[in-house]
Amino acid sequence: MNTMNTMNTMIAVQQPRAGGRMQVRPRMRMRILYRYVLSEFVGPFFFGLLAFTTIFVAGDLLTLVRTAVTAGASLRAVAEVSALRLPQTLVYTLPMGILFGVLLAVGRLTSHFELVAIRSAGISQIQLLLPLIVIGSLASALAFWVNETVAPAANLRAARIFQEEVARRPLAPVRENVTLSRYEHGRLLWLLWAARYDPQAERLTDVTIVTMKDGSPAQTVHARELEWRETKWLLRDGTLYRYGPEGQVMTLSFQGGSQLVDLGVAPQEIAAEQKRPEEMSASELAARIRILSSQGVSIPRELRVRLHQKYALALASLVFALLAVGLGGRGAVRRGGATTGFGLSIVLIFLYYILTALGGPLAETGELPLVVGSWLADLVLGPVGLWLYVHLDRC
């Protein structure tokens, strides 16, 4: 639909019939305009999403191929790792596509003076461009769903294939903040947390094991270390806390002693099952924090930061939609079209992820409050975008 057709549509919806009645009802008029705004958005959005995703995937593929050639790995393994990393890549590129699509859509309306014509018909820009904000909100919900359900399992599998088939080296020799769990019919049976795991020595250090019953902790074991002995684990210097139905606690200490325990998991399974925070969903991170907190275990600040960032990253699409509508409506991409839109998108994306990269470490070290550091990009850019949007009719 070109500019002249749009203007004709505006005239049609405004032209009264004899007797002063409108040809098109106000609600139908807004539907026509909403459809037009969305039609301007769809093409640039998919172009931007494809462009940014291609950039991410191409860079990742180059690194994978280089590693595979050095290690003599197969291209099948490279392709599988690249495909498994795609959901996480889309979590990052979806907000970028939203930003680019909204900037160009609003920029076209501005450059053709269609927003001026629509405002002259008494229609608020805030109302007209609301569907783009709704699209940003839906994209945020979709990004969170992917990051919560699809990406964690895909990331974990990609890491294993990369280490074992592409790089052809064993998993990291020593891992910190190791967590293991067992479920039966969707119910958590037990959860183990250890400060360190050394696969060569087959030893877990600073261990907490929480056994669950009917969704609540039944007993907790704290031990200095667990060491593998052929078929079972040797637990050294530990204390057992058993919880009664009425809240009573029975304590059994074997400090200086040891005891064999059967966890039903071997050392090689630990190396395969341990997850880094980025390989976990928000619900898994929250469950780990909740259980460790209830048992009085010191919770690594990194876990809390990663949990907050799971939600903060999902909100990026809405933040970018607000910024793009606010800037585009003020003529930020009136001249230059797609080139200007792409350049402005790069600047805003760079700013967002610089703030994220700065805020996370500062929150982990305690130099910034946990919430402020984890949400820094959203807290800085979100209010700016909201202000630009709600004051759009004043520009």
Together in a domain, 32 and 163: yes
Lowest-pLDDT choice from 36-50, 138-152, 242-256, 282-296: 282-296
Per-residue DSSP letter, 149: I
pLDDT at 301 over 90: no
Residue ending a domain, choose from 272, 292, 323: 272
For residue range 95-113, list pLDDT tens digits in order: 999 999 999 988 888 876 7
Together in a domain, 92 and 134: yes
pLDDT at 47 over 90: yes
SS3 230: coil
Residue 197 lies in a domain: yes
φ, ψ at 218 (rounded to 5°) = -100, -35
Together in a domain, 127 and 102: yes
Domain tally for the chain? 2
Q: How many CB atoms are closer than 10 A to CB 43? A: 12
Confidence of residue 171 (pLDDT cuts 50, 70, 90): low
**Calpha distance 290→299 (Å, rounded):** 9
Give the pLDDT of residue 395: 64
Residue 210 lies in a domain: yes
Give the pLDDT of residue 367: 93
**Calpha distance 354→364 (Å, rounded):** 16
Give the pLDDT of residue 61: 92
**More confident of the two residues 291 and 219:** 219
Give the pLDDT of residue 45: 95
Please report where in the chains the tokens 């009645």 appear, as a residue: 21
Phi and psi based region of residue 228 (left: phi greater than 0; alpha: psi -120 to 50; beta: remaining): beta
Q: Give the whole-number percent of the chain exceeding pLDDT 70.
A: 85
**Calpha distance 168→164 (Å, rounded):** 5
Contact 344, 337 (CB under 8 A): no
Together in a domain, 231 and 322: no
For residue range 194-224, list pLDDT tens digits in order: 888 887 788 899 998 888 887 788 888 888 8
pLDDT at 14 over 70: no
Confidence of residue 249 (pLDDT cuts 50, 70, 90): confident
Together in a domain, 65 and 85: yes
Together in a domain, 52 and 144: yes
Lowest-pLDDT choice from 148-157, 279-288, 377-386: 279-288
Residue 217 lies in a domain: yes
CATH number of residue 222's parent domain: 2.60.450
Residue ending a domain, choose from 226, 249, 272: 272
Residue 104 lies in a domain: yes
Give the pLDDT of residue 11: 41
Lowest-pLDDT choice from 33-37, 41-45, 244-248, 318-322: 244-248
> 345-353 contacts: CB < 8 A, separation 24 or more?
345/48, 345/96, 345/99, 345/100, 345/103, 348/99, 348/320, 348/323, 348/381, 349/96, 349/99, 351/377, 351/381, 352/316, 352/319, 352/320, 352/377, 352/381, 353/377
H helices of the chain, where? 3-14, 26-71, 75-111, 114-120, 125-128, 130-145, 151-161, 267-273, 282-294, 301-314, 316-328, 337-365, 370-374, 376-390
**Calpha distance 202→229 (Å, rounded):** 9
Together in a domain, 142 and 32: yes
pLDDT at 1 over 80: no
Burial of 247 (C-beta count, 10 Å sphere; 0-12/13-18/19+): exposed
pLDDT at 264 over 70: yes
Residue 220 lies in a domain: yes
**Calpha distance 65→73 (Å, rounded):** 9
φ, ψ at 208 (rounded to 5°) = -130, 125
Together in a domain, 137 and 244: no
**More confident of the two residues 386 and 298:** 386
pLDDT at 172 over 70: no
Q: Is the pTM of this model over 0.85?
A: no
Together in a domain, 154 and 216: no
Together in a domain, 141 and 68: yes
What type of residue is 277? Answer: P
The pLDDT of 228-237, averaged and rounded, is 86
Sequence-distant (≥ 6) Cβ neighbours of residue 86 within 8 angstroms: 53, 57, 154
pLDDT at 22 over 50: no
Residue 286 lies in a domain: no
Residue 354 lies in a domain: yes
Kindly state the tokens that stand for 309: 């960032």
Residue 292 lies in a domain: no
**Calpha distance 272→14 (Å, rounded):** 66
Give the pLDDT of residue 349: 93
Together in a domain, 268 and 321: no
Confidence of residue 13 (pLDDT cuts 50, 70, 90): very low
Q: How many CB atoms are closer than 10 A to CB 290? A: 11
Together in a domain, 182 and 149: no
Give the pLDDT of residue 272: 57
Per-residue DSSP letter, 162: I
Range of the domain at 266: 175-272
**Calpha distance 50→6 (Å, rounded):** 28
Give the pLDDT of residue 7: 47
